[in-house]
Chains A and B, each alone.
Chain A
Amino acid sequence: MNRAISRMFLVGVVLFAALVANLTWIQVFHAKALFDKPQNQRRIAEDMKIKRGRILAFDGTTIAGSVRRSGYYYRTYPSGSLAPHIVGYESVRLGLTGIEVTMDDYLTGRAGGLGVQPFIDRLLGRRPTGADVKLTIVPEVQRAAQAALVGKTGAIVALDPLTGAVIASASAPTYNLGDVEDRWRRLRSDPSAPLLDRATQGLYPPGSSLKVVTAAAGLDTGKVTPTTVFNDTGTYVIYGGKVTNYHGEVFGTNTFTQALTSSINTTFGKVGDLVGRAGLVGYMQHFGFWAVPPIEQPAGSVLASGRYDGGTLLSPDAKMDPLAVAWAAVGQEKVLATPLQMALVAAGVANGGRVMKPFLVQQVISPSGKVVKQTSPALWQTAMSPATAATLNTMMQQVVNAPGGTGTAAALPGVKVAGKTGTAERGTTNMAWFIAFAPADAPRVAVAVAVENTLSTGGEEAAPLAAQVLKVALAQAQLP
């Protein structure tokens, strides 16, 4: 028996030797390769030893600061949770999102062009200090947008139409930047998806707010003028189907301006038919549909607007029958748009047909206080001629100012507001839209408001929220 026992012990020795050999491989020969694996959070932890640059608002207030605790730097949010979806969180466990990831190289001081200090730091083996990133977000406007959405589901985007600077971008329900790690499980499994940025990823049927694009197509191609007369019988029969008005209303004889003011579907269905599939889709592309708005957010967290089928973006050349074109012209059919895209539509009209490239980062400031990167406004798309834009501007003012206009709830005392409502039916509830800009004669702010799951219309639900945000924005002495 003893021979068998000692043999058994030898087997044990061999097994334990295998353990030691494997352990040596892991801890000595393979250690570097394992450390460099992207799944290894130790790398992010290593980055947390760097004094990360601050993320500042347009007026210089700190949105995300850096504080040192036992060797690591942690984010603090002295302004509360301002624009959480845009700013993003930084966590060893969860990784980085938003500006934290797109500007990571600057925030950690790894990017080039930050002066000689980071270079010297690296030569001396010191950890570099990160550069500050100043955003275009204006705290008061951002707060107004976040406050307007409390208790609702939706998004608000406000832009400077002249530059493309995003001065506010809010999405609701939202989350608190300071406690993402602690509440992660709940945030992830919450069916209301608080982590989703509805401003850039919320694809909604734009409904009548898309009529601004249809109108631009009709006016710019000369197919219609503001005074072209249409007759509405409540239904527009086309290609074996029909386009009907919201709640079956009948308007009778109407001019094109009245059609926009009262949001008459049949008239816009006819205009859609006049400009045709290529015309309508072409003008949508001129406003930026089918392109991803190039703001400084990680790939995948900004979506292109356009025609979607089952979650995939259809080609702009995809076939459409005349009935589909007529319904697409009133923002239904398969057309989906993000609030950011619809804000760009309003901004395009406000800026004489020139859609400026939207941006979030105003400048990057090196640790020594030097501005090392400054975003200058650039043209993104040309939507229409300045003359068409001026005509459309006047028509959109009627929506807010004319008696019986659908957007009168967005009117502000002493300021001319131009806008367009939208009410898209999604199942049993409505998607309420309002896109607007002000002051109409010298635009400073363009805004898009989208509210999900409401029983009200765009004019009732979204227009007052747009007015709240516009009012705060126009009260600012300086905008980006």
Chain B
Amino acid sequence: MSRRNSELAFLALAAVISTMAYVSVFAGRYHEIRRASIVYGLIFVAVFLVLHLVVRFVLPQADPCLLPITALLSAMGLTEIYRIRPALALLQGQWLLVGAGLFILTVLIVRDHQRLDRYRYVIGALGLGLLLVTMVVGTEVNGARLWLRFGGFSIQPSEFAKIAIVIFMAGYLNDKKELLSMPTKRFLGLGFPAPKYFGPLVLMWVLTLVMLVFVKDFGMSLLFFAVFLAMLYMATSRIAYVMTGAALFVVAGAAASQYVAHVHERFLIWVDPWSRAATSGYQLLQSLFTIADGGMLGAGLGRGYLLFPNHQPIVPDLPTDFIFAALANELGLLGAVALILCFLLFCWRGFRIAMWAPDGFSKLLAAGLSVTFGLQAFIIIAGVTRLIPLTGITLPFVSYGGSSIVANLVMVALLLMISHRAAVVRGGSLRERHELAKLG
């Protein structure tokens, strides 16, 4: 079966699962299936069918798994958002349409992602500019300044900045990787490059700190710095960078948790939410209660106890930062683990694309995007389950959030482009190459 036919088959599977989810929510909510819901479902299927056709004609050799996983995750997200607040789901659906549009534009305009390498400084500056603009004129929500407001709607520029910065770093690190990986000294059994090559690392560290202090966004600064470290490691294979970077981050994190009030509070909540149960710890505790209530199999979609009698969610920010708690409640451990596996599967496909990409820039770009995606999912899931201090970022494709879903769809478009080009350059399908590699 060709890649595109596999993709179509996977998409059909995703559609079946999504439809079952929708039906369950509607049955739980209204005790009947409404015609309108089926219309929404059909529109959703149509959107992904269009994306599939675009990929079929423009990127026929692209990876067949990414689009179906994307469809499944967004369907689960939309369903759960609908279940919590129907009005939000309609907005999210519109953002999905915008995202699909941007996906198609990216595929048609960029065509070949290698052209991005040429404009890496422009793109990097653009990403940095987006972040700076937010610092200066951003609107503060929940103590963090990450929103730009335009009339009726607001966007979160850091979601787009992260893609721009990954593109820039892939280009930059690919260029400088030989230079940066030259070991000159040995210390603690590790080869350390000359001090001057730690420049980019320190620069990135300072940038992250500035972001942390002025944008007060612990989640995004953690994500940026970790992604940079991961890409630096993949470009140079030097553990020394990772160690130094991790040490720098721990220092910065410890300082921030002492001196930046917003971060300090988040840290205290993580250490002891119980003594703050009625105030700042309320949200995290209710999240834990909500997740625990799901048990092994969950209450069933649309049947969990998520809302107060007046339809306000028990856990504040349930459709955005805490969407995972809602899904874990209604799908249980089994469903929640399946969701986590979807994210892992996405990352696996991304890393596979990176391994098979023929050139350094493509490798770093694909791996960087995959790390961004996986780490973002990890940070928020670990946050709402109290594995790490909570930082508000979106769960890719699942959380309510227009900027997030649009940016992540652009990211999928880039990954598909890289995989298509890899397959074309190598001639023949990935599977054929894989078999060859095993023999050879």
Contact = CB atoms under 8 A, between A and B. Distances in A.
B348 A9 contact: yes
Interface in A58-92: 69, 72, 74, 92
A333 B402 CA distance: 64
Contacts of B286: 41
A39 interface: yes
B405 interface: no
A12 B347 contact: yes
Interface residues of B, number: 50
A4 B240 CA distance: 13
Contacts of B235: 1, 4
Nearest to B364: A1
Given A5-B351, A16-B378, A27 B296 contact: yes
A20 B336 CA distance: 8
A27 B387 contact: no
- Report the interface size class on chain A: 35 or more
Interface string B209-234: 00000000000000000000010011
Contacts of B354: 5
A40 interface: yes
B310 A35 contact: no
A5 B387 contact: no
A26 interface: yes
A3 B354 CA distance: 11
A111 interface: no
Contacts of B351: 5-6, 8-9, 12
Nearest to B363: A1
B385 A92 contact: no
Interface string A1-40: 1111110110011011011101110111011001101011
B259 interface: no
Nearest to A48: B309
A292 B289 CA distance: 37
A28 B337 CA distance: 13
Interface of B is mostly: helix
Given A23-B385, A74-B309, A42 B293 contact: yes
B342 to A, nearest CB: 11
B271 interface: no
B234 A1 contact: yes
A1 B180 CA distance: 13
A175 B291 CA distance: 35
A15 B277 CA distance: 28
A18 B383 CA distance: 12
A27 B309 contact: no
A35 B293 contact: yes
Nearest to B274: A39
Nearest to B336: A23
Nearest to A24: B333
A289 to B, nearest CB: 33
B322 interface: no
B187 interface: no
A5 B328 contact: no
Nearest to B314: A41
B332 A5 contact: no
A35 B292 contact: yes
Contacts of A24: 333
Contacts of A74: 309
Contacts of B237: 1, 3-4
Interface in A241-283: none
A23 B328 contact: yes
Contacts of B277: 39
A190 interface: no
B289 A40 contact: yes
Contacts of B360: 1
A309 interface: no
Nearest to B238: A4
Given A8-B233, A12-B374, A26 B355 contact: no
Contacts of A8: 230, 233-234, 351, 367, 371
28 contacts: A1-B237, A1-B360, A1-B363, A2-B363, A4-B236, A5-B234, A5-B363, A6-B355, A9-B347, A9-B351, A13-B344, A15-B382, A18-B387, A19-B382, A19-B387, A23-B328, A23-B340, A24-B333, A27-B291, A27-B336, A30-B292, A31-B292, A31-B293, A35-B292, A35-B293, A39-B277, A40-B289, A41-B314
Counting from the closest, the 5 A-B pairs by CB-CB distance are A34-B292, A39-B277, A31-B292, A27-B333, A9-B351
Interface of A: 1-6, 8-9, 12-13, 15-16, 18-20, 22-24, 26-28, 30-31, 34-35, 37, 39-42, 45, 69, 72, 74, 92-93, 181-182
Interface of B: 177, 230, 233-237, 274, 277-278, 285-286, 288-289, 291-296, 305, 308-310, 314, 328, 332-333, 336-337, 340, 343-344, 347-348, 351, 354-355, 360, 363-364, 367, 371, 374, 378, 381-382, 385-387
Given A4-B234, A41-B286, A93-B314, 17 more contacts: A1-B235, A1-B237, A1-B363, A2-B363, A5-B351, A8-B233, A12-B378, A15-B378, A16-B344, A23-B337, A26-B292, A30-B292, A31-B292, A34-B289, A69-B309, A93-B308, A181-B308
